[in-house]
Amino acid sequence: MSRLLPVLPALVLGAGTALAAEAGPVHTGPPEFLLNLTLLLLVSALAAYLSFRARLVPIIGFLLAGVLAGPGALGLIRDPELISAASEIGVMLLLFTIGIEFSLERLARIARLIFLGGGLQTGLTVAAVAGALLAFGVGWQDAVFTGCLVALSSTAIVMRLLSERGETGARTGQVALGMLIFQDLAVVLMVLLIPMLAGQGGGLGGIALALAKAGGIIAFVLIAARRLVPPVLEVVARTCSTEIFLLAVVALCFGTASLTAVAGVSLALGAFLAGLLVSESRYGMQALGEILPLQVLFSAAFFLSVGLQLDPGFLLANLPAVLGAVLLIAALKAAVTTLSVRLLGERPRVALPVALLTAQVGEFSFVLAAAGTAQGLSFAGLGAQGTQVFIAATVLLMVLTPALAALAAPLVGRLPQAPSPDLQVGEPSGESHEATLPVSERVVFAGYGAHARLAARALSRAGVPYSVITRSPDGASELSGRGAPVLIADYTRAGLLRDLGLASARALVIADDDAEMTARAVSVARTVAPELPIITRAETPDDLNHLRALGARHVLTPRKEVAAGILDLLTPPEFSRAEIARHLAERPAVSLTPEQQAQCDHARAAPGPVIPEADVCLECLASGDTWVHLRTCMTCGHVGCCDSSKNRHATRHARTEAHSVIRSAEPGETWAYCYEHGWTR
């Protein structure tokens, strides 16, 4: 991990030097790092495509592509430092996304699986490997080091397989997850142990000091960030800017990782902690959607870098030794994992699939191996040859993982049936988590502007269930306050919509005021749910034709009342136009009277009608405050609290936006007021 900091400045300086060179009279061609980066992207894309065609996990394709592109085969990628730096960022982003997906509350629910199950599996594996090597005369330092390498499994591969098979929430998935999380946390201790095994670091006292320092920095990050992260994300999210939000999230990930690295704890653990902090806020899904494309890119770099380390010539020359290591590692890990799961009280129908899923060596073992090799430790005490055997065996085990996992179903089918109901492979358990937003047979609103707000409230009165995906914190606060299902996220992310099960919705209403965002949302939704009715709006004939070409079934135009059009399409057939109008009239638009309009130029410029954006002060609701009275802005429909309230949001809005005229939003009151001229009527 320590190679990351010096490499990144070098890349930046290299880019600057290249630009300076291009600006000069002599053109020397593209810089070396750009060629390698281009090759990296091309190889990654090709590997992902071939993996898709062969129905393999993309990670396996990246590993094989790294082997072919490496110096031992075609030699396409020649800058290992660049790949190493990208792969370390990939590890950070991988752990960051894992942290976002698993909140502290969820981790607490499977704490027994993490600490008891994972502790048993990791501890027994280290002990079994070290004991076997000691019996063959290997030094205890290399024996323990090898046990640590073998004990770790690939979180990325296992979670990807579970996700593709829909078993993340099954009992097998939950048990496997618990063990993998413990292994990821155990990496921290293992990294601290390596200097001790190499005779450095101060012995047990050094371990205790390092652990105390690590515990202190973790506690500091959790406590400080719990107070700092939520308000910062609130401020950033209110901009509704994808760019600003992405930059803030990446800065949080890298900043927390750097802070833990300064304290001597791994970058990966810092990134995991940052993900947990984001998951505790209401912006977890939005952060996950923004970071996933980057995570995919750098994860590809990581697994390519793993493949680059394999020398095909060494593999062929030492094939018996490598295959022997593969068989021994897989058999030992499967046996130890089965025993550990059984000791947890789980049945064989759960233990066997978990054992086959985790019977490989993980990505963090390469990080650990690099640290150990630098300290003079080696796999099985074999020196440089042992390192190559370890790399070759690990790559083969990763490639074989999908095949091993596929053996679970037929093997479980041969096990004797228990007299009581048993959990099958992929069967949900009580610990499975539900989708973050209910969408099945519901109307889903993408965006919560004025049209969506009015239509959603009318649908509620008509008894039609709905859910909302929005990027607006204020809109989410309003919906949460009324108990309506809402998710803060970017609804143009295909992965998010697919995970929510959008195809099972009754209809999707895209009422975003931004034409470009609307078009993007329609395009993405149509790829995720080809048959789903999509309702949206268009301002111009060109927009209307474009949205229909993208797959929108119903496109409403400004000539129609948009909210009424949405209701007309979504309410039952027996609903008359009069009933639709009545539902909409329960939240009527408001306007100034002729007498009020005659008071000043501001009133004449903002006569209305406007639709109040809410029946609450959204800003007070977001901050947990209360209000006395409500006022409606007659220019834009903003609803804010009065000057008798603590925050005076109506006045603040009027001063900030130069919207001078407000109207009382209290029932039975129709008076209006101009801030500039001071009249009330």
| Residue 549 shares a structural domain with residue 610 | no
Where is pLDDT greater, at 289 or 140?
140
pLDDT digits (tens, 9 = 90+) for 541-578: 888 888 888 888 888 776 555 666 676 777 666 566 56
Residues 6+ apart with CB under 8 A from 591: 607, 608, 609, 610, 634
| Residue 365 shares a structural domain with residue 224 | yes
The residue out of 585, 606, 635 marking a domain boundary is 585
Give the lowest-confidence range in 123-137, 387-401, 550-564: 550-564
Instruction: Give percent of the chain above pLDDT 90.
Output: 14
Q: How confident is the model at residue 420, as a pLDDT?
A: 40
Highest mean pLDDT among 75-79, 337-341, 437-441, 500-504: 337-341
Residues 6+ apart with CB under 8 A from 177: 102, 110, 113, 159, 162, 168
Q: Is residue 423 one of the residues assigned to a domain?
A: no
- Torsion sign across C-alpha atoms 331, 95, 189, 198: positive
- By residue range, what is the domain housing residue 650? 594-674
Which CATH number goes with the domain that contains 569?
A: 3.40.50.720
Q: Is residue 30 one of the residues assigned to a domain?
A: no
Res 425 pLDDT > 60: no
d(CA 326, CA 406): 18
Q: Is residue 150 one of the residues assigned to a domain?
A: yes
Give the lowest-confidence range in 110-119, 484-493, 657-666: 484-493
| Residue 223 shares a structural domain with residue 107 | yes
| Residue 568 shares a structural domain with residue 623 | no
Q: Is residue 260 one of the residues assigned to a domain?
A: yes
Region 200-205 average pLDDT: 63
First-to-last alpha carbon distance for the chain, in angstroms, is 69
Give the tokens for residue 323.
């295959």
pLDDT digits (tens, 9 = 90+) for 262-314: 766 667 667 777 777 777 676 676 777 777 777 677 677 777 777 777 888 88
Alpha helices in 198-241 (DSSP H): 203-237
Q: Is residue 652 one of the residues assigned to a domain?
A: yes
Decide: helix, strand or coil at residue 103.
coil
d(CA 245, CA 238): 9
- State the pTM of this model: 0.60
| Residue 219 shares a structural domain with residue 337 | yes
Beta strands 466-470; 639-641: pairing state: unpaired
| Residue 470 shares a structural domain with residue 380 | no
Q: Average model confidence (pLDDT) for the chain?
A: 78
541: buried, middle or exposed (CB in 10 Å: 19+, 13-18, 0-12)? exposed
d(CA 679, CA 681): 7
Region 483-502 average pLDDT: 82
State the residue for tokens 């091993």. Answer: 404
Region 26-46 average pLDDT: 71
Q: How confident is the model at residue 1, as a pLDDT?
A: 42
Give the lowest-confidence range in 64-73, 358-367, 392-401, 649-658: 64-73
Kindly indicate the confidence band of residue 324, based on its pLDDT and cuts at 50, 70 and 90: very high
Where is pLDDT greater, at 127 or 566?
127
The residue out of 412, 431, 463 marking a domain boundary is 412
Q: How confident is the model at residue 621, as a pLDDT?
A: 65
Kindly indicate the confidence band of residue 666, based on its pLDDT and cuts at 50, 70 and 90: confident
CA distances from 258 to 271, 366, 381 (A): 9, 20, 33
Q: Is residue 428 one of the residues assigned to a domain?
A: no
The residue out of 359, 393, 412 marking a domain boundary is 412
Kindly indicate the confidence band of residue 434, based on its pLDDT and cuts at 50, 70 and 90: very low
Q: How many structural domains comprise the chain?
A: 3
pLDDT digits (tens, 9 = 90+) for 584-603: 555 567 889 989 999 999 98
Which CATH number goes with the domain that contains 288?
A: 1.20.1530.20
Q: What are phi and psi of 470, to 5 degrees?
A: -145, 155
| Residue 119 shares a structural domain with residue 267 | yes
